[in-house]
Amino acid sequence: MTLECLPFEFTVCQIEDVSDADLTAPFTFFSCTDEELSLVCPTDRVPARTINRVDNWRAFRIEGTLAFTMTGVLAGVASALAEDSIPIFAISTYNTDYILVKNEFLAKAKHSLYNSGYTVKDLPLKTIRDYYDKTAADWAARWYEDDSMLPYLKEFVSLLPENPRIIDVGCGAGYESMRLSGLGADVVGIDISPVSIQIARERNPHLDFHVLDMTKNYSELGLFDGVAAIASLIHLPNERLCAAFERMTEVLKPGGLALISVRHGVGKQTKQSYVTIDGEAYDRGFYAHTLDELIEYSSGKLTFVQELLPNEDDIWKQYLFRKI
């Protein structure tokens, strides 16, 4: 028998009102008894209001469809884990059984199941490119109508030469490229998502867009007065920031400026990283960064200039750096 290990974390919780829960989200299990409303769902789908909640669960799913005449299926798995003192939380659906274990027991649980004759396979997470290919149209629908970045872009362009040449690194579907162009800039956009770039080209036929990785060499595009990295470095852990800053430095003219937009904080943000869409799990690698981290990993390449339009209450920060 094969068990599939689902690639994201679950939360078990009690809720006050069923309307708080998104029961259409994949891998959501809801029960209503005379005592409680109980919800099990991916952690990124937990309602804002809960009575009680327990996080950090991982799930095994028994592969295939189980006949109602089968016996001992769940008991066999539970017994194998119980022998190694691994507590479980079990859920049965029409098709199959799900066995949840706390994340701290996951590796031990896999080992126990292997030793008991089960096959365990990890279901792969789809990548950040997959995620943005899947959601490109949604991002375009939202951000072509949202001008919230415009004040920062105006401030940025005002500090550059007239009609500056700007590269939009991680441009997505091209919405901020459009705004930069509207401010008089000659814009080139790059992104790893082919679907996003297709939309960017359709919406902005007068601009130049390329499917390229911001951590790989793109110097063939020429030199630029400015680099706009708007919510793109949030997809890089600290150890990959150096490469991104190196690539920026290669295409910036002497004294050129870089607008770096990041979410303030430290490390990988689990809730924002792991998402489930149409039953498929994605890791879009969402990382928060501090100014100190940006200064450290751009050292020798860029120097910090200022924060644009500072707002202590805004978790998103817009920093200006200059090529050394």
What value does the mean pLDDT of the chain take? 95
Spatial distance between the Cα atoms of 271 and 54, rounded to a whole number of angstroms: 15
DSSP state of 101: E
The reply to whether 183 and 309 lie within a common domain is yes
The reply to whether 148 and 21 lie within a common domain is no
Going by C-alpha positions, the residue among 139, 158, 161 that lies closest to residue 225 is: 161
Burial pattern 65-97, b for ≥16 Cβ within 10 A else e, equals ebeeeeeeebeebbebbeeeebebeebeeeebb
Structural domain range at position 303 = 128-323
The reply to whether 102 and 141 lie within a common domain is no
The reply to whether 197 and 268 lie within a common domain is yes
Helix, strand, coil distribution of the chain in percent, nearest 5:
30, 35, 35
Tell me the β-bridge partners of 166: 187, 226
The reply to whether 222 and 319 lie within a common domain is yes
Confidence band for 22, pLDDT divided at 50, 70 and 90: confident
- pLDDT tens string 271-324: 788 887 887 788 899 999 999 999 999 999 999 999 999 999 999 999 999 999
Residue 256 phi, psi (nearest 5): -65, 155
Q: What is the structure's pLDDT at 71?
A: 92
The reply to whether 163 and 274 lie within a common domain is yes
* Chain center to CA of 92: 30
Let me know: does 21 contact 30? Beta carbons within 8 Å.
yes
The reply to whether 60 and 170 lie within a common domain is no
Answer yes or no: is pLDDT of 269 > 90.
no
The reply to whether 279 and 189 lie within a common domain is yes
CATH number at residue 213: 3.40.50.150
Number of structural domains (the chain) is 2
Percent with pLDDT over 90 in the chain: 87
- pLDDT tens string 208-236: 999 999 999 999 999 999 999 999 999 99
Percent with pLDDT over 70 in the chain: 100
The reply to whether 184 and 90 lie within a common domain is no
The reply to whether 18 and 109 lie within a common domain is yes
Domain end residue (candidates: 97, 122, 147): 122
- pLDDT tens string 133-182: 999 999 999 999 999 999 999 999 999 999 999 999 999 999 999 999 99
Confidence band for 268, pLDDT divided at 50, 70 and 90: confident
Domain end residue (candidates: 122, 144, 160): 122
